[in-house]
Amino acid sequence: MIKFLLLLLLIFSFENLFAQDFGRQQQQIDSVAVKYLQTASRYSVLYYGEQQLSPLRSSNHPYLNDIQFAKASLSYHGVIYPEVLLRFDISRSELIIMSPNYLPIVLYPEYVDFAELHGKHIIYFRNDSLSGSPSTGYYYLLHSGKCRVLEKNNAALRVKSQYDLHYIFSKRFFLYHAEGYYTIKNKRTLLKVLQPYKKELKLFISSNQLRFRNNADVFIPKTVAEYEKLSESL
């Protein structure tokens, strides 16, 4: 009988100690969670995505401008955050934010309204039913008015050998005009779309010394803006 009572006492003591340890662990978890939320403040909604996968080692990087996170402004789910740390992975088409505990978190693209990063206005474009519509993904919005100019960047990993991996970058430009989208490959295709001001636009391009081949991301929006001025003057 005494042995039985001692056994019950031991079991009770173990359960009590376990409950106390579990209680302490839970308090510690709650304390960390509260501290995290206090640090994140109203920004906490940004940090619920998945952690970014580690990039492959290569001779160059697939990020916009810099592999390091940079200060940026972000509109996410209708809320503007004026100063966050972002970087944009061109190869995976991912916008990544640095969390308060220094983890790179991939933002949910469907909640991204826009981001201002390294002088680029990044939007998440959704493919629509209009003719020539680009595929869904992140784009740089170069011009927004009666017409719209989008730039799509791509970074493809090329493997020459086990020790020679590098990214090859390419760009595509799209113009929204007259209820449809057009892929702009050169000056000729742009001027063909922007009728009937081909002659006036050629003069504008020449007088401003614009070059498509060297600087298409400047050439296209400036030419389109001039087209809008000409069409409004009628």
Query: pLDDT tens, 95-113?
Result: 999 998 899 999 999 999 9
Q: Are 132 and 183 in contact (CB under 8 A)?
A: yes
- Cα separation, 84 vs 103, in Å, equals 13
Pairing type for strands 70-76 and 112-117 reads antiparallel
The pLDDT, as a whole number, for residue 44 is: 72
- Cα separation, 211 vs 200, in Å, equals 16
Is a pLDDT exceeding 50 seen at residue 129? yes
Q: Counting Cβ atoms within 10 Å, is residue 117 exposed (0-12), middle (13-18) or buried (19+)?
A: buried
- For the stretch 32-73, pLDDT in tens is 444 434 444 567 788 888 899 887 789 999 999 999 999 999
Residue of 92, 37, 18 whose CA lies nearest to 61: 92
**Domain-wise residue ranges, the chain:** 48-184, 185-234
The pLDDT, as a whole number, for residue 66 is: 93
- Cα separation, 67 vs 98, in Å, equals 12
pTM, full prediction: 0.80
Mean pLDDT of 191-206: 95
